[in-house]
Amino acid sequence: MKTTDTLIAFLMVCCLLVLGGCDTVHEFPDTLPAAEQTVEIRFCFKDKAPLDEYKTISYRQLKSTAQAESYQSRFVVEVYDNGQCLVHKQLFTDVDYDEGISLQLRLATGKDYRIVTWVDKVASGSSTDMHYQTASLNSIELNWDFHQACADHKEAFAGTLDVSLGTASDGKAVVTHTVDLYRPHAKFRIVTTDLDAYNLTGHKPPQKVKLIYLQDLPSLYHFTSSSVTTSSSEVEVWGTVCEFTENTCTLAFDWIFCPGKGITLPVVFEVYDADQKLILRSPQIDIPLMCNKLTTVRDRFLTTRFSDGIGIDDNFEGEISIEL
């Protein structure tokens, strides 16, 4: 009898232990961790060639912090799932426009993603925004605290790619996708063709320029639609006169956000010498801009009074030339 009672007691204790352990041993999470896939993203510069001949700018040597700094390319990459940003990464590198670069990410399989990429320049050794505000890539806004003209390091590239990842059973250790990068800008420059005649007057050479955008300066670029939002007020920005030859110089140039259909931008500019003496103020010039194209405005600005009549000569391959 004693043996039977002992056996019953032992079985009861075992049952209690099993029941007490059910909360931890047999409870399953509501959702299991998703399988992940390594995704290699390659970035390819599609708009490199058309403006190559204008990338190297010989600036007049001035004591200017902005001109003395060196710059590096910054890649800002965001990955979205149903409108929610899952990944925000920045890479800093010297860009090889022919080779591009690549980045590897780990992403959950069985989902659709949008990869958004922005490439611009920042000061070497710094991650601080320079020409553009990049807190979120839903839209890119001009950085008004660092807004300047005549700066080729203002050039930028943008690209988006929609990616659908299969299940982990697809068997590939790494899947590769390519993001094509395009310029969201148009570029214009204002060239005077009478520098030799101006130098004979004995006046000091042109040194600084103020661009005055009278209205509708595109200040916000939207990735999803490749559209722009314009500023409703007048905007002024300073730059340095550059590209001096015997009889020409570039009084001003700038990069402007531009939608695919193009825009016309009303501009006035003022040119100053080293003593901040005003050399000239132009009339309003309506400059036609097309994305990834260069528009050149030419005239004898320094010595000639000119009318408001503007004709367009598109004989230059890859650019629009306006002869005043």
Of the candidates 160, 62, 69, the one whose C-alpha atom is nearest the C-alpha of residue 117 is: 160
Same domain? For 86 and 195 the reply is: no
Q: Is residue 22 part of a domain?
A: no
Q: Copy the structure tokens of residue 92.
A: 């800093």
Q: Is residue 57 part of a domain?
A: yes
Asked if residue 292 is part of any domain, the answer here is yes
What integer is the mean pLDDT of 83-98?
87
Question: Residues 84, 195: one domain?
Answer: no
Q: What is the mean pLDDT of residues 217-233?
A: 90
End-of-domain residue from the set 157, 181, 205: 181
Domain total of the chain: 2
User: How far apart, in Å, are the Cα atoms of 98 and each of 46, 101, 244, 292?
Assistant: 9, 9, 30, 18
The share of the chain scoring above pLDDT 90, in percent, equals 56
Grade residue 61 by pLDDT with cuts at 50, 70 and 90: very low
Q: What is the overall mean pLDDT for the chain?
A: 80
Tens-digit pLDDT profile for residues 151-195: 989 999 999 999 998 875 456 778 999 999 999 999 999 999 999
Instruction: Give the long-range contacts of residues 32-36, CB within 8 A, separation 24 or more.
Output: 34/108, 34/109, 34/110, 34/111, 35/108, 35/109, 35/110, 35/167, 35/168, 36/106, 36/107, 36/108, 36/109, 36/168
**190: in domain:** yes
pLDDT of residue 34: 62
| Cα distance between residue 111 and residue 86, in whole Å | 12
Is 211 in the same domain as 164? no
Residue 5 located in a structural domain: no
Residue 308 has pLDDT above 60, yes or no: no
- Asked whether 183 and 291 are in contact (CB, 8 A), the reply is yes
Average pLDDT over residues 215-226: 90
Where does the pLDDT of residue 51 fall: very low under 50, low under 70, confident under 90, or very high at 90 and above? low
End of a domain among 125, 150, 181? 181
- Token readout for 323 is 């002869």
**3-state SS of the chain: helix, strand, coil percent to 5?**
15, 45, 40
* Better-predicted residue by pLDDT, 8 or 44: 44
pLDDT at 29 over 50: no
The verdict on residue 29 lying in a domain is no
39 in Cβ contact with 163 (< 8 Å):
yes
> pLDDT tens digit string along 113-131?
999 999 999 999 899 999 9
Distance, in Å, from the CA atom of 132 to the CA atom of 138, rounded to the nearest integer, reads 13
21 pLDDT higher than 80? no
pLDDT at 15 over 50: no
pLDDT, tens digit (0-9, with 9 covering 90-100), for 256-269: 999 988 999 999 99
Of the candidates 128, 127, 132, 156, the one whose C-alpha atom is nearest the C-alpha of residue 144 is 132
Strand, coil or helix: what is 7? helix
Residue 28 forms part of a structural domain: no
Q: Are residues 123 and 194 in the same domain?
A: no
pLDDT of residue 94: 81
- The pLDDT value given to residue 317: 37
User: Is the pLDDT at 303 greater than 70, yes or no?
Assistant: yes
Q: What is the DSSP string of 202-243?
A: TPPPP-EEEEEE-S-EEEEEETTTTEEEEESS-EEEEEE-B-
Domain edge (last residue) among 159, 181, 203: 181
Q: Are residues 168 and 195 in the same domain?
A: no
For 226, half-sphere exposure in the C-beta direction (CA atoms, 13 angstrom radius) is 15
The CATH number given to whatever domain includes residue 71 is 2.60.40
Task: Supply the pLDDT for residue 191.
Answer: 95
Range of the domain at 270: 186-323
